[in-house]
Structure 1
Amino acid sequence: MIETVRNAWKVPDLRKKILFTIFALLVFRLGSAVPVPFINTEALANQMTLMSGTIFGLLGTMNGTAFSHATVFALGVQPYINSSIIVQLLTVAIPALERLQKEGGEEGRKKIAAITRYVTVAIGLLQGFGYYTLINSNTYNIVDTTGVPSWWAAIVIILTFTAGSAFVMWLGEQITEFGIGNGISIILFAGILSRAPTMIWSMISGVQTWMKDPTSSSALHPVVVPAIIIGMLLLVVFVVFIQNAERRVPVQYAKRVVGRKMYGGQSSHIPLKVNMSGVMPIIFAQAIASLPATIGMFVPSAQTEGSAWNTFLKIFDTTGIVYIVVYFLLILGFSYFYSTMQFNPIEVANNLKKNGGFIPGFRPGKPTADFIAKVLNKITFFGAIYLSVIAICPLVIGGIIDNSTLAIGGTSVIIVVGVALETVKAMEAQMLMRHYKGFLE
């Protein structure tokens, strides 16, 4: 990976793209440090510390320190991710949108992108209002409206959250167009990494507390830290191995005579990646899993101990069995959904038939499509199980040792490693397009 980045830096065009991506991330981190007006950040930090083991802690991890400090970019890329899920589901359910996506060409894709942006702004308004309701419905005096009407402070806070979310969406699109890799994934990557120093300091503080008072609830045995580090490294190695694994379906091309020359006759293969959907099922699953917390934001009594909404949110705690089961099933479902959106066996079979290709042992047309679909389902199932197990194992371990940081950090590792691999592959693809030989050897 380091060698790929070094080689890409030698190419002027790629160097500009890398610098643009770095500059965009600096802008994102700057916006993540600018607080929204009328908010007492110290009181908010104390409140978020109490929510570290809940789903609000998970939202804070996905959006970085911006969420816990109520900065301009507090909502991060969550509204855009939710919008993308809604639009993709509607594309499958509504024939007009499906035709627009498949037959509309470039103009159709632009219209769908515009719809996604409008839905993002609408969701940003809803989540901004929900977040304001959350921080305004407690006894910690987080919202300071001294000297101004409360309704004016509410409007400023909600619109600032919404504008920040829209800007992050625009920034991600600019990275995708002028930078390296998928902009939204890279911003999510940067947001997760921004909490790494906090997680490391939490482990150090836990060990120090254990040395002073082993019975303390925040104590962490010194042996646990190396075990966590080794476990994370093994997780990274396993994720990299599966991300690069693929099933190669053999393809044979028939010989044909054109004029005096003979074409075809060579052998090839169709590469089917074990984890074809990458990190998207996890991101989508987390977006859906955050819906209870988002709904709870609109209810002032959600933070009142013993209330119905407070009990409901505790059921969906990140270390609770209900959340783990729902999270597992969502990853399975989105893995199949995303692989179906990305790969069409019928279209592949038709293309093979047009080009004189066939899979040995299967007739062209429907038998070939059925075989590819069968192989794809098996591979997708294994990939979905892999993602689900890797995602929930840290949750289970975190619940056993009563450490919410570990529970959230396990999912973060999968996203960070997956985005890093996808970005490196994007660099390699762009270097290959420029015919710079020897860089990938």
Structure 2
Amino acid sequence: MSAIESIAKNSDLRKRIFFTLALLAVYRVGVHVPTPGVDGTAVLSFFQAQSRGIFGLFNTFTGGALSQFSIFALGIMPYISASIIFQLLTSAVPLLESLKKEGEQGRRKINQYTRYATVALAVVQGYGISSWLMNSTSPDGRPLVIAPVVAFLPFQIMTVITLTAGTCFIMWLGEQITERGIGNGSSLIIFTGIAAAIPQGAQRLFELVKSGEMKFAVVLLLLVLMVAIIAAVIYMEVAQRRITVQYSQRAGGGGMQSMQTPTSHLPIKINFSGVIPPIFASSLLMFPATMAQFVHVPWLKALQESLNPSGTIFNIMFVALIVFFSFFYTEIVFNPTEVADNLKKYGGFIPGVRAGKSTADYIQKVLERVNVLGCVYLSTICILPGILTSQLNVPFYFGGTSLLILVGVALDTAQQIQSHMITQKYEGFMKGAKIRSRRVQF
């Protein structure tokens, strides 16, 4: 039976997929709804001129909403930034740490605080971007703002309200997809925005080749580079370091007992943290660079010029943040002590390693080594394509972070779909099975 036939027969999975696609379609429609009071063509020409800088990176994560300055211009990045802040505070603030240990109720409370922080960040960014628009012009000298007063409100206030409402709506869409759809809602929204830019990028490349501005050999080299990166990402995303685990069991036969040691594995992914570190690192780097564009302060302007996606300072900070978030996320999600206790509880042990603390130390050591390899992989994938494409003079932003998110989210979503299909098959098997009980007399 093919995967499509399995999905068609799985009503719950089919509903989840349709629900996810419907909400993503709503998001894509909102990307094309303009913010009141701006000249859309002037804003578009400005962002096309800045497509290879930090605005190109920001526009990629917003799915083109920033270049059109739609109601979703801020995208979901304020929510991502707020999530980063509270994940960091959870390990530093005792109150948040105690809420985390309370289970589902504590998690909901932290999510509520995260939403409040998202609104605050969206207000700050909305005010900054509206102030910048009021004092900026397009490359041909046209003002970006054509209506200083919109619906009896100053342009800045209307823009703050519009962009904040758009961010809150995207945040709600992401949460609904996570709870009632397939995959992680926030990651899928970013995935959709990046994927939506692929046809436009392909069209621009075709036009450049047709007009002779870019050689066909350069385009072919770029395509080979993309295919090689995708293949490397797929290979590393599924790669694992397997720790051998054996379980002691007693099996009696003919009055004699013998020891059996079934062998299993404890899989540890090479890229344990997935796409979380690049997304977090990108959001943190984009925030100060965006503020530097909106606030006319000399040192902020110098910071903005240095934080170019192909610049040295940007790449160094990007790698440092990737390494930090890789180890930080792994430390939060994976607890070697709990794994060692569970192994000991169920009679499992690692050959040559004592149970208990020694097992936890061994797992921690393996995890740290694997994490180093994962950091090297993430840093290379995120930095190298941007450097190479800048050398090839590609007229739009193209980075390994985008490809990593595309492939990583696609693999994660496919695994969740496969998990739902396996669950459906198991439930069908249990429904068809007849379990008979037999009365035992003593």
Q: Normalised by the size of structure 1, how large is the TM-score?
A: 0.90
* C-alpha contact (below 8 Å) 2:349/2:355 kept by paired residues: yes
Corresponding residue to 1:143 among 133, 136, 145: 145
340-349 vs 368-377, which moves further: 340-349
Residues 1:311 and 2:302 are matched in the alignment:
yes
SS at match of 1:363: coil
Distance 1:368 1:148, change over 3 A: closer
CA distance in 1, matches of 2:373, 2:152: 53
Write the mapping of 1:92-131 to structure 2, written as runs, cut at 5 A. Answer: 92-102=91-101, 104-131=102-129
Distance 1:253 1:24, change over 3 A: same
* C-alpha contact (below 8 Å) 1:67/1:74 kept by paired residues: yes
Distance 1:391 1:257, change over 3 A: same
Spell out, residue by residue over 1:133-180, the C-alpha distance to the aligned partner (whole angstroms, 9 max, x if none): 222221331112266599622111111100000000000010111111
Corresponding residue to 1:368 among 348, 359, 363: 359
User: 1:265 deviation in Å?
Assistant: 3.8
CA distance in 1, matches of 2:126, 2:25: 23
Distance 1:188 1:395, change over 3 A: same
Q: Aligned letter for 2:423?
A: M
Corresponding residue to 1:421 among 411, 416, 437: 411
49-58 vs 21-30, which moves further: 49-58
CA distance in 2, matches of 1:334, 1:251: 29
* C-alpha contact (below 8 Å) 1:345/1:369 kept by paired residues: yes
149-158 vs 56-65, which moves further: 149-158
* C-alpha contact (below 8 Å) 2:309/2:386 kept by paired residues: yes
Distance 1:3 1:169, change over 3 A: farther
CA distance in 2, matches of 1:385, 1:4: 35
Corresponding residue to 1:355 among 346, 369, 379: 346
Q: How many residues are treated as equivalent by the alignment?
A: 421
User: 1:402 deviation in Å?
Assistant: 2.7
Distance 1:263 1:92, change over 3 A: farther
Distance 1:209 1:73, change over 3 A: same
Distance 1:148 1:61, change over 3 A: closer
SS at match of 1:145: coil
Residues 1:205 and 2:207 are matched in the alignment:
yes
- Superposed CA RMSD in Å reads 2.3
Residues 1:226 and 2:209 are matched in the alignment:
no
Write the mapping of 1:24-173 to structure 2, written as runs, cut at 5 A. Answer: 24-102=23-101, 104-139=102-137, 140-145=142-147, 152-173=154-175
Identity of aligned residues (%): 41
Distance 1:246 1:63, change over 3 A: same
CA distance in 1, matches of 2:8, 2:289: 43
Q: Aligned letter for 2:23?
A: A
SS at match of 2:241: strand
Corresponding residue to 1:410 among 400, 403, 411: 400
CA distance in 1, matches of 2:405, 2:314: 19
Number of the residue aligned with 1:278:
274
List gaps (5 residues or longer) in structure 2: 429-442
Number of the residue aligned with 2:317:
326
* C-alpha contact (below 8 Å) 1:284/1:334 kept by paired residues: yes
* C-alpha contact (below 8 Å) 2:222/2:389 kept by paired residues: no
List gaps (5 residues or longer) in structure 1: 211-218
SS at match of 1:248: strand
User: 1:8 deviation in Å?
Assistant: 2.2
Q: Aligned letter for 1:80?
A: Y
149-158 vs 225-234, which moves further: 149-158
Number of the residue aligned with 1:214:
none
Spell out, residue by residue over 1:369-427, the C-alpha distance to the aligned partner (whole angstroms, 9 max, x if none): 1100000001111111101101111111122223252x534321111011000000011
Number of the residue aligned with 1:431:
421
Number of the residue aligned with 1:215:
none
CA distance in 1, matches of 2:378, 2:168: 30
SS at match of 2:365: helix
User: 1:282 deviation in Å?
Assistant: 0.8
CA distance in 2, matches of 1:90, 1:146: 40
Q: Aligned letter for 2:43?
A: L
CA distance in 1, matches of 2:4, 2:44: 37
User: 1:201 deviation in Å?
Assistant: 2.1
* C-alpha contact (below 8 Å) 1:4/1:427 kept by paired residues: no
SS at match of 1:291: helix
Distance 1:118 1:262, change over 3 A: farther
Number of the residue aligned with 1:12:
11
* Higher-Rg member (1/2): 2
* C-alpha contact (below 8 Å) 1:319/1:398 kept by paired residues: no
CA distance in 1, matches of 2:162, 2:111: 23
* C-alpha contact (below 8 Å) 1:239/1:414 kept by paired residues: yes
* C-alpha contact (below 8 Å) 1:349/1:368 kept by paired residues: yes
CA distance in 1, matches of 2:15, 2:149: 48
User: 1:204 deviation in Å?
Assistant: 1.8
* C-alpha contact (below 8 Å) 1:4/1:424 kept by paired residues: no
CA distance in 2, matches of 1:395, 1:29: 26
